[in-house]
Structure 1
Amino acid sequence: MTYDFKQFIDRENTRAAKFVFREKLFGRSDVLPLWVADMDFSSVPELQEALIERAKHNIYGYTMYDDEILNAVTNWLKERHDYDVDSELLSFSPGVIPSLHALVQIFTEENDQIVIQPPVYPPFFSVVKAHNRELVENPLINENGHYKMDFDHLEETFKNGAKAFILCSPHNPVGRVWTKGELQTLADLCVKYDVYLFSDEIHADIIFNGHKHLAVATLNEQIAEKTFTLMAPSKTFNIAGLQASYVISPNKELKEKVDQQLMRQGFSMLNTFAYTALEAVYKHGADWLDALIEQLEENKQLIDQKLEESNAPITSVQTEGTYLVWLDFSKTGLDHDEIKRKLNDEAKVGLNDGKSFGEQGEQFMRINIASPPSTIEEGIDRIIKAFE
């Protein structure tokens, strides 16, 4: 089957967040929205068929998962990532962030130190602070557009008593797909200093050519005992609005604690369509995903080519995975607020504010490239025109 990722699909008047919040975020409603992390692509065809078939029943009562759903998840992880997961260690949740809140509450105490690596997904900051934990930053090092971990500094934070570390793998927004060597060094430190590892791997399926995602829990038994892996089909298949994710716990005893906390938060089950969607995309979405990645790589190449051929002092970092690209405006000579003003009022393109990812995001912006190439071309052309 062939899939059309070049077709423009009008999402106006569908209550899509990226359109509804334009005026609130950018001060005007006519910006081209390339910010919130969902796609402008139609999802897996078999998903639509499965949802319609389920809707024909027209009863939407409390719904539970069964072995078919569990097998769909574990088979996907085994085939796509060589990650052999015991289905009895899966806990379902409407999202990775609710799951992170649960893990922080279960496995750390008030005033405990939790380490994150900015610039990073903004909810990582709030998931620590909301529960009166001490946020400790281990900033990534930017070497000419390629980011790496600062392991010497990370070890110092662990020596100082950190109880948990939140990993973003692949990394949002800098697009790194961490290598086995990098993950092994991180894992060894977590084991050495007895630090829990909460690994957000929601973008694990969207990996560019020449790179491979490795679930950190697969490295060895020692790190597996300390790692909670958070995954979802939501980014992969553009079903974030259906709210389906899961946590993979190290063992049944810790899994029971996760389930109890999720129940306290009111997340003891998913909605009816979430289960249907999760099963459908994992069973039928592999070819669709391969085609999607090809289009995303083409979109990234388009951005790079346009920037290189222009006189705009803007660069994009080396992207290895995800559909989120980190744009560097530091050579424009403008301060952050002026960069935002030019994007909003001259380019009329809505991007994610780099500073929302931490102070390391000053003079950076995040662009979502999961749109037809015509939309991406229009967006980057507008940006170049405003900054040339």
Structure 2
Amino acid sequence: MINQRIKTYATKYMNRQEIFGTEDVIPLWIADMDLPGAPAITRALIERAEHNVWGYTAIPEAYYQAFIDWQQRRNGVRYDLSLMSYADNLVQAIQLTLGALLTPGDKVIVQPPVYHPFFKTVANNDLVQVNSALIEQDGYYRMDFDHLAKSVRDAKALILCNPHNPVGRNWSEAELTKLVDLCVASDVLILSDEIHSDLIHRGSFTPMQKLNQSHVITFNSTGKSFNTAGLQGGYVIFPNKDMKQAYEDYAASHGRIGANCFNIFSNIAAYNESEDWFDDTLKLIGDNIDYVTDRIHRQIPRIKLRAPEATYLMWLDFSDYGLSDKELLQRCAKAGVGLGPGEWFGQGGQQHMRLNAATEKELLEEALDRLVKEFA
């Protein structure tokens, strides 16, 4: 699988020189899987390709219904199909939503360290980013509700990463309820990115629209759960039809013209035919996370690590080494391991690196051997 990915222009391989200054690194930096995909998705893609015409494609109800049924089974939430819209990808959808519903100069709250493309969705709409940084204690992160209570007073929206990338929190229902209460009281929209919501290792996932129907816009896709990021496509679920229409009008005026003809079929196959594959893959990822956690705790204890409650991403704290972010990146590259630089994720990301555990065990073993040699 690894050698095959090199031949498919995979971003994690193509960008090694640019990011790490060398191609001689094991790339564990970007958030996609190095694992065999679901057979049902492969069959659906082959069947669609063999049709031999790949023209403009409408979005059928079946595309949305597959997602609705999956969420009902997995998370006990029932979405209204009439309030759902298509997304080419979730970052673009968040940016379009902000552009459609907010006015330049409005304030948008983010919670760093957090998925860094959020920052561009704010800046690209001439909005004002307000950082409400997470509070960290012994590798465990929580929301700063005192700061949030002040920030929501003059904000228009908050972008939530639920579950959180990169720190791996699966936010509890109590935490999310408190956040909803603060935002509703100040009429702040919550844009909830739930792309990692299937990848839960501890506890159960709480969809934001299970808690609130008036102030939450949900974004989701098969991108992480079924490793379909290269196929694009996703879902946006709005609180009401006016917001949905505003989004669709704005998206159409900014170049969105239709669906990826392959994504339609891959998503339906994922949600309707690939649940057993997903459950097996989630267990494999959990075993990989346990392996990495154990080796780092035993062999490189100066690297602080708390196993994630969700996602397949692991947040490594190298602060005990006293390195600058540039020096840390260079040391990891020298070791031959390409990790995601923590500084990308904003405030609180300094002296951290993000490791993707959704790969083959032998690759993780080699990467850990190299890190032990360099940092033990």
**TM interval, short-chain normalised:** over 0.9
Instruction: State the 1:335 CA deviation.
Output: 2.6
Query: Is the 2:303–2:317 Cα contact (8 Å) retained in structure 1?
Result: yes
* Secondary structure at the counterpart of residue 10 of structure 1: helix
Instruction: State the 1:67 CA deviation.
Output: 2.7
Percentage of matched positions with identical amino acids: 38
Give 2:333's aligned residue: 344
Counterpart residue identity of residue 168, structure 1: C
1:180 aligns with 2:180: no
* Secondary structure at the counterpart of residue 230 of structure 1: strand
Give 2:184's aligned residue: 191
Mark the CA change 1:112 to 1:287 in structure 2 (over 3 Å): closer, same or farther. same
- 2:118 is aligned, of 111, 115, 124, to 124
Give 1:353's aligned residue: 341
The 5 Å alignment of 1:318-333 reads: 318-333=307-322
The 5 Å alignment of 1:98-247 reads: 98-159=92-153, 161-208=154-201, 210-219=202-211, 223-247=212-236
Instruction: State the 1:311 CA deviation.
Output: 4.3
For residues 310-368 of structure 1, the C-alpha deviation after alignment (integer angstroms, 9 at most, x for no partner) is 145112223001011100101123232221111012x1111111001013111100011
Which whole-Å CA distance do the structure 1 matches of 2:300 and 2:90 have between them? 40
Which whole-Å CA distance do the structure 1 matches of 2:243 and 2:111 have between them? 25
Which whole-Å CA distance do the structure 1 matches of 2:330 and 2:86 have between them? 41
Query: Is the 1:312–1:387 Cα contact (8 Å) retained in structure 2?
Result: no
- 1:255 is aligned, of 221, 228, 244, to 244
Give 2:68's aligned residue: 74
- 1:286 is aligned, of 275, 290, 301, to 275
Gaps of 5+ in 2: none
For residues 128-186 of structure 1, the C-alpha deviation after alignment (integer angstroms, 9 at most, x for no partner) is 11121111000001111110000010011112x01100000000000000000000000
Give 1:3's aligned residue: none
For residues 277-313 of structure 1, the C-alpha deviation after alignment (integer angstroms, 9 at most, x for no partner) is 1111011121111111111111111111111221451
Instruction: State the 1:265 CA deviation.
Output: 2.1
Query: Is the 1:93–1:268 Cα contact (8 Å) retained in structure 2?
Result: no
Counterpart residue identity of residue 227, structure 1: V
Give 1:4's aligned residue: none
Query: Which runs of at least 4 in structure 1 moved beyond 4 Å after TM superposition?
Result: none
Counterpart residue identity of residue 358, structure 1: G
Counterpart residue identity of residue 95, structure 2: H
Q: Which moved more, 1:133-142 or 1:326-335?
A: 326-335
Give 1:51's aligned residue: 45
Query: Is the 1:9–1:41 Cα contact (8 Å) retained in structure 2?
Result: no
Instruction: State the 1:9 CA deviation.
Output: 5.8
Which whole-Å CA distance do the structure 2 matches of 1:34 and 1:27 have between them? 15
Which whole-Å CA distance do the structure 1 matches of 2:304 and 2:371 have between them? 12
1:64 aligns with 2:58: yes
Instruction: State the 1:69 CA deviation.
Output: 2.1
* Secondary structure at the counterpart of residue 114 of structure 1: strand
Query: Is the 2:293–2:307 Cα contact (8 Å) retained in structure 1?
Result: no
For residues 21-80 of structure 1, the C-alpha deviation after alignment (integer angstroms, 9 at most, x for no partner) is 110111001111001111101111011111111111101111112232222111111111
Give 2:263's aligned residue: 274
Query: Is the 1:230–1:247 Cα contact (8 Å) retained in structure 2?
Result: yes
Which whole-Å CA distance do the structure 2 matches of 1:235 and 1:56 have between them? 26
The 5 Å alignment of 1:367-386 reads: 367-386=355-374
1:307 aligns with 2:300: no
Which whole-Å CA distance do the structure 1 matches of 2:61 and 2:344 have between them? 40
Counterpart residue identity of residue 287, structure 2: E
Mark the CA change 1:311 to 1:235 in structure 2 (over 3 Å): closer, same or farther. closer
The 5 Å alignment of 1:1-16 reads: 10-16=4-10
* Number of residues of Structure 1 aligned to a counterpart in Structure 2: 376
Counterpart residue identity of residue 187, structure 1: V
Q: Which moved more, 1:249-258 or 1:189-198?
A: 249-258
Instruction: State the 1:276 CA deviation.
Output: 0.8
1:86 aligns with 2:75: no
Instruction: State the 1:8 CA deviation.
Output: 5.6
Which whole-Å CA distance do the structure 1 matches of 2:25 and 2:2 have between them? 17
Query: Is the 1:304–1:315 Cα contact (8 Å) retained in structure 2?
Result: no
Query: Is the 1:317–1:328 Cα contact (8 Å) retained in structure 2?
Result: no
Query: Is the 2:133–2:347 Cα contact (8 Å) retained in structure 1?
Result: no
Which whole-Å CA distance do the structure 2 matches of 1:37 and 1:185 have between them? 29
Which whole-Å CA distance do the structure 1 matches of 2:145 and 2:307 have between them? 21
